[in-house]
Structure 1
Amino acid sequence: MSVQQPDKGTILIVDDSPSSLEALFDFLTMAGFQVLMAPDGESAIEKVKHTCPDVILLDIIMPGIDGFETYRRLKANQSTQDIPVIFMSALSQTSVVVKGFQLGAVDYITKPTQQEIILARVTTHLTIQKLRRSLQAQNEQLQQEIQQRHQAEAALQEANEELSRLATLDSLTQLANRRRFDECLNQWWRILVREQLPLSLLLCDVDFFKLYNDSRGHQAGDECLHQVAQAMKRAVKRPADLVARYGGEEFAVILPNTHGQGALQVAEQIRSSVTALAIAHPNSSISQYVTLSIGVSFTVPCHNCCPEQLIAVADQALYRAKASGRDRAVFIRFSHTQNLERCVYWNTTAIQQQAQQNL
């Protein structure tokens, strides 16, 4: 009882000689290969469309298209261009052999030859082909892993950026939070110290917000703060400016490279934008709607002072805005030599006049 050898690979033999085909078919089949046969180039090309062999033994002298033309057509097809081809021919001229290798053949066997030599050549090139395919598969797997790693790194970077953004974002108002405000103010202070350019700061407080919260409820209070925040954000248009929630019902606006007059104009835009929301506030003693009091400070940063001093002056200006009737802004310029060099009380009908007189 004969034991069938395991399949070692698929070989296509292309030869117009029936006797050569039969002899090689029997020998290579007994050696454990799956063997396909084609009597000419056209039928060989048709056969590989259905079954892709691992190696092709290709005769050169055949009726119809010869072996060279058959190989050119195989090389022109992406699905068959990488199949190793071994030319077989009685032609032994150097020019013919060189032409075969120039076309891309992996080997050239001169007829007649011993079957053992064919087996050795076929086995060698099958091994090379398997190694090449294995290497190609490993490279593809490596490329896939690299791509997946890049995608994972990009996703991680995006997640980290989102976490960083959320870490500096106030969840209720979607404005910058106090941490981001402190970072931004210190960054701009260092830059403007070096460039000797102005810096303005606005501190804004929702008037009588505790009364609003107590009468309307915390949910309505949160919605009020959110609407006020978005109105402020729309009013502050420059990319470098920062609107932040300073704490509770207080907001802050950093205006780099902005003098006092420009800061007062921004303050008016913010105040009028919030009033235009027409959020009803029955418990306010100054208006039927929610309003803002705003403290404005301005300085040219230097090494002899610090951002905290500018904040303190803006806070003092906010206190005076509340004390003088609310729904208004008070401007105090912070001087390095005199904390309260000049104080300007301002209302919405006299902003330009007051700013020109006091800056």
Structure 2
Amino acid sequence: MRKRRILLLLVINILILPILSGCSNQRFETYHKAQNGQIDLSQLHLENEAIDLDGEWEFFWNQLLEPTEVDQGELSGYVSFPSSWNKYVINGKTISGDGYATYRLTFNSSDDRILALKIPKVRTAYKLWVNNNLTAAAGEVGKTEESMTPRYLPQVVSFNAHQGENEIVIQMSNFHLSSGGLLNSIQLGGESQLLGLRYRGIAFDLFIFGALMMMGIYHLALFFFRKKDPSPLYFGLFCILIAVRTLMVGEAFLFYLWPDLDFVIARKIQTLTYYLGVPLILMFFKSMLPDYFHNQIVRVTQILAGAYALVVLLTPTNIYAVINPFYQIWSIFLIVYLFAMLIRIASHSLKENWLIILGGLALILTSIVDIITLSVWISDSWPPFLKMIFQSDNSSSTGQLLFAIAISLLLAKNFSDSLEYKTVMGEKLTEINNHLDDLVFQRTRELTASNEKVEQQNFELELINQELQKISLRDPLTELWNRRKYDETIQLEWRRCMRYKRPISLLFIDVDYFKNYNDQYGHVAGDECLIKIGETLRTALSRPTDMVVRYGGEEFIVLLLETSKDEAIHIADVLLQKINALGIPHFGSVVKDRVTVSIGVSCLIPDASSNHEELVKIADTALYHAKTNGRNQVQVFGE
């Protein structure tokens, strides 16, 4: 089912879009073609027809000949018309886009009558004579870039046709675009017929311009009020660019409104609308469907568009026109990429995105038509149906309008869904309001129970935290302060004593031959020995500011705040005697038959040049001397 829908979308775009894109410049089928510079139209009622003067025209390369001079000119050959003269081969060489030439065609009419010619845009200046009368012109024809003045001016002109043979002579020159000549057919017919085509084309272009401009302004306004979503900005700018371009292609109504508009400026504007429109539409798709479009491709497209735009702004038209085919190739790559992504989107979520897919396909197909139309790829051997499609250079405007309509329908659908959701939510809110009192009472009761439960849990957590805090700072064996508590305390007390210039003393205590004790009596007895020593140290100190720490293993630290060296030595002696007095048997000791300790004493007055770690280092050095001097004694480093 999904594959059928995708196929249906493709068929709709392929069959319908070319018809729509041709509506702005409808023409009748060509029944006759010129051969060897002549076309016989004597059997037709030309005043009721609109005939494309296609076929073989006489061609005089690098010659600007007026009607009275054509017979004396050097005929370069009979060439397919309309066509860019870049395709013509003269003397075995393909001619370039720069140059000038004269074309001539004769046609037969059944009687005298007033007829008209519908002349499209000519690259890039021309003069046209009918029966030796100068009938139409645009710009100034010249043999050099300096002597000519380029100008676009599609127009319908009337003339008196004679019974029998009539002659059309056209001088053309081009030094501003990469290809010269005429890409669209000159039409011959009744004045009312051709004016009708002209007016319908202008009306269609103005309709597209107005629709796109309004959509562009509308989407820019959406972005102004909601800047979080950039997709309306990209889409609005793209609509405005295409709207401006619409007035410069097709019937080129802008040149009719502003006849003195400089060709170079107009051409730069038209080219920039193309160069800048490519990254804008890709950025729009990226913002709408970010999962399907790669950031790297979008970034490269932005860089290339910026670079090409700078070239357009800073160089003459004949320079940047040369690089335009390369950008067209890049555009075709992006079109293929966009087409592949749309197929991927359709295969994943066609139901939700079918509008944007349909609009995107319309944009893709009409953009391809425009790229081919503006290139030199069109061949005179193409079937008439294809030539009709590719002779309109404003197809992408039609595709963009269809794309904009699709996006607008998508926005309308989203808006409708939003209103439906709002209605449903409003009904639910009304129902809730009707039972608000019961709901508030129920929610209040639930909230009260929840708060009581939270308070109970917080109380239990506080008890647990207190217990954990206590455990984290206490030695689990002796219940003395541990090394973590010591590290926290010494930093605070060191700064305090430094501020008031008070001394800090430290006793470093080590149990003598404790390993031998464990080996002789076992670890359980060793733990009981450490508990008794720790309890003795704690109870022997009289001041609450004194701190006893189990520093590690059989090592203890006694921190004595605001205590002089002499006082510290006295306290150390007292502690040494009290531990001796415990009388804990230790027959593995070489000092005494009981457990003894060695004590190292340090004392410092904190200042900026010292730190608390030196206090431990000095006491540790003194302890080392106490051990090496026989143990069971108090030592002060330096004494």
Q: Which residue of 1 aligns with 2:612?
A: 307
Partners of 2:452 and 2:593 in 1: how far apart? 60
| Greater helix share, structure number | 2
Partner of 2:469 in structure 1?
164
3-state SS, counterpart of residue 245 of structure 1: strand
Corresponding residue of 2:457: 152
Partner of 1:189: 494
Q: Which residue of 1 aligns with 2:624?
A: 319
Q: Which residue of 1 aligns with 2:535?
A: 230
Measured on the aligned residues, the alpha-carbon RMSD in Å equals: 2.3
How far off its partner does 1:133 sit?
Answer: 9.5
CA distance in 2, matches of 1:159, 1:178: 22
| C-alpha distance in structure 2 between counterparts of 1:277 and 1:134, whole Å | 73
SS in 1 for 2:481: coil
Report whether the alignment pairs 1:262 with 2:567: yes
Distance in 2 between the 1:227 and 1:206 partners? 12
CA distance in 1, matches of 2:571, 2:482: 20
Q: Which moved more, 1:171-180 or 1:292-301?
A: 171-180
Equivalents in 1 of 2:495, 2:452: separation in Å? Answer: 41
Letter in 1 for 2:535: Q
What is the letter of the counterpart of residue 607 of structure 2?
C
After superposition, the C-alpha distances for 1:7-48 in whole angstroms (9 at most, x for unaligned) are: xxxxxxxxxxxxxxxxxxxxxxxxxxxxxxxxxxxxxxxxxx
| Aligned counterpart for 1:201 among listed residues 506, 510, 517 | 506
TM-score (norm 1): 0.52
User: Does 2:589 align with 1:284?
Assistant: yes
TM-score (ref. length: structure 2):
0.30
Superposed displacement of residue 252, structure 1: 0.6
What CA distance in whole angstroms lies between the structure 1 residues aligned with 2:546 and 2:439? 58
Q: How many correspondences in the alignment?
A: 205
Deviation at 1:254, TM superposition (A): 1.0
Structure 2 counterpart of 1:190, one-letter code: R
Alpha-carbon shift at residue 280 of structure 1 (Å) = 0.5
CA displacement at 1:276 relative to structure 2: 2.2
1:132/1:240 Cα in 2 relative to 1: closer, same or farther (>3 Å)?
A: farther
Question: What fraction of aligned residue pairs are identical, expressed as a percent?
Answer: 39
Quickly say closer, same or farther: Cα 1:272–1:142, change in 2 above 3 A: farther
> What secondary structure does 2:551 align onto?
strand
The whole-number CA distance in structure 1 between the counterparts of 2:481 and 2:494 is: 18
d(CA) in 1 for partners of 2:467, 2:538 = 20
Structure 2 unmatched runs, 5+: 1-434
Aligned-partner Cα distance in 2 for 1:294–1:225: 15
**AA matched with 2:544:** P
Residue 370 of structure 2 aligns with which residue? none
Q: Residue 218 of structure 1: which of 508, 514, 523 is its match?
A: 523
Instruction: State the partner residue of 1:329.
Output: 634
1:243 pairs with 2:528 = no
Q: CA deviation at 1:238?
A: 2.4
Give the Cα separation in 2 of the matches to 1:250 and 1:237. Answer: 21
1:173 is aligned to 478
Q: Deviations over 1:151-173 (max 9, x none)?
A: 32122122112212212222222
Amino acid of the residue matched to residue 313 of structure 1? I
State the partner residue of 1:85. none
Question: 2: distance between equivalents of 1:134 and 1:265?
Answer: 75
Task: Mark the CA change 1:136 to 1:235 in structure 2 (over 3 Å): closer, same or farther.
Answer: farther
Question: What letter corresponds to residue 147 of structure 1 in structure 2?
Answer: E
Q: How does 1:92-111 map to 2 (within 5 A)?
A: none
1:82-97 correspondence to structure 2 within 5 Å: none
Shift of residue 134, structure 1, vs aligned partner: 8.5
The DSSP-based 3-state class of the residue aligned with 1:255 is: strand
Inter-partner Cα distance in structure 2 for 1:190 and 1:256: 12
Give the 3-state SS of the residue equivalent to 1:201 in structure 2: strand
Determine which structure has more spread, i.e. the larger CA radius of gyration.
2
Q: 1:104-143 counterparts in 2 under 5 A?
A: 142-143=447-448
Aligned equivalent of 2:600? 295
Q: State which drifts further: 291-300 or 229-238.
A: 229-238
Name stretches of at least 5 consecutive residues in structure 1 with no aligned partner: 1-129, 333-339, 344-359
Cα drift, residue 135 of structure 1: 6.5
Distance in 2 (alpha carbons) for counterparts of 1:132 and 1:267: 75
